[in-house]
Amino acid sequence: MYGIQTYMPSEFALLVREYHDGSYPVLAYYIAKVLSYMPIFSLDGMLLLAVAYWMIGLAPTAGRFMRTLFTGALVEAMVASLGIAVCSISPSYAVALTITGPLLTIYSMTGGLFTNVAMLPDWIRWVQYLSWFRFGYESFIVNEWTYEKYSNITCTVAHGKIAESCERTGLEVIENLNFHPSNIYFNWMCMLAYTLANYCVGYIALVARVQKHR
């Protein structure tokens, strides 16, 4: 997100001049920027996931590996689309950074990474459904812990003792985090929908700003 905000604001003056000179429409510029960012902010994450997946020793099946990569790609797409939308709305780089900081903090705090989503206060619990942290984290958890290897977890500690508190199955792990095993496809649809919505909002905001600056 911060990488996008470094480039787009600096190009705004050039976009305004060339648009009003009739060189190209805003839509052409916008689509070109979106397409140019896609490989930059997707291939690096997928490469990192591909390496980390096998180094960590996650479920060694092709289907789960591909679902992990697809989830990561959707997370990056959603983040990139929000970065473009914020840049399109903001009048300057400084304003874009001011908006982005609090958004990242709120989304990360409510996404389930640092606290169980069931423990969130009622007044802020709804924010998790705007967070790619929630959608991505739940999808990763469900994809891994529904693997048949975790249908019976051995809860032994040192000297063969049985742990007093232990989830016995992968399903218990998922439920303990207040996630649902069937949500992975729902999360994918939500991330895709939010990505498209962010791009639409960004385009409308950019057109309005360009037409205003004559």
Give the pLDDT confidence of 2-57 residue by residue, as tens digits: 677 776 777 888 899 998 888 899 999 999 989 988 887 788 888 999 999 999 99
Amino acid identity, residue 205? Answer: A
CB 58 within 8 A of CB 69: no
Give the pLDDT confidence of 131-155 residue by residue, as tens digits: 999 999 999 999 999 988 888 877 7
CB 61 within 8 A of CB 147: yes
Q: What mean pLDDT is predicted for residues 158-175?
A: 77
Give just the sign of the alpha carbon dihedral 92, 105, 53, 139: negative
Q: Please report the pLDDT score of residue 72 as a whole number.
A: 94
| Percent of the chain at pLDDT exceeding 90 | 49
Burial of 154 (0-12, 13-18, 19+ CB in 10 A): exposed
